[in-house]
Structure 1
């Protein structure tokens, strides 16, 4: 049986609001990017350097948006954990994740001790 959260309902609601707000901000930014890319795509740059620069900027912007898309998925998963009553519980050891850590990284699924151990193992493996 999964351990249930020890966070009070008002704290859970505050985290839900924070996560929802961040999702909306990221979606808004993504919409602006698509709009800007569509509008900028109409520009014609005869100079190859200008075209290369624009292409480089677009690729960079797309990488940022891809990372944000992955973050949105993690935020949606965190909201699902709030709904399930498992938000704030470490998936590795089952102990509560500190509120301070959740505030710093609301999508986290591990307490600081387990995350530190995982990072040490990854470092040893060279990942």
Structure 2
């Protein structure tokens, strides 16, 4: 599980580097100003592009042929690796839907504001998780309610 999350963070970091213009939103600017919205729009689009590229690479590898390891242990190891790869791609497929939702919120002027409280989410949280829809406090409350519901 840590590897999957690590891959997601690595791809986001790669997307940030790919923007390359050196601009980073700061609290000195007006919250969700045009430069900030443009930055997050470009970041989300780059993130999506990198995920789709990785998915295409996985698909190509799958089409190249089945695993043909002569040793049973090697074959089992390869199949395990493929299973992890496919789960990662499935997780990223779901992430693309969240990226598309964030892009829609940018276009509708809702990006950067908590869907529960309407308060600003904060640049730090959005930089770490550009698809965030809630403030940290609202997210924690949501997770506590979910835990209580599961425990009942």
TM tier, smaller = 0.7 to 0.9
Alignment of 1:12-23 (within 5 A): 12-23=37-48
Q: Distance in 2 between matches of 1:88 and 1:80?
A: 12
- Measured in 2, the distance between the counterparts of 1:113 and 1:46 equals 53
Paired position in structure 1 for 2:20: none
Matching of residue 110 in structure 1 with residue 151 in structure 2: no
Structure 2 residue runs without a partner (length 5+): 1-30
Deviation at residue 126 of structure 1 after TM alignment: 4.0
CA shift digits 1:13-48 (9 cap, x unpaired): 10000000000011111111111222252x523433
Aligned residues: 121
**Counterpart in the other structure of 2:61:** 36
Q: How far apart are residue 50 of structure 1 and its match? A: 2.7
Maintained 8 Å contact 1:15/1:106: yes
Deviation per residue, 1:90-109 (Å, 9 max, x gap): 11111111111111110010
4+ long deviations beyond 6 Å: none
**1:85 aligned residue (109, 112, 116):** 109
Contact in 2 for aligned 1:90/1:109 (Cα 8 Å): yes
Provide TM-score, normalisation by structure 2.
0.73
Matches within 5 A, 1:1-127: 6-41=31-66, 43-126=67-150
More displaced stretch, 47-56 vs 91-100: 47-56
Identify unmatched segments of 5+ residues in structure 1. 1-5
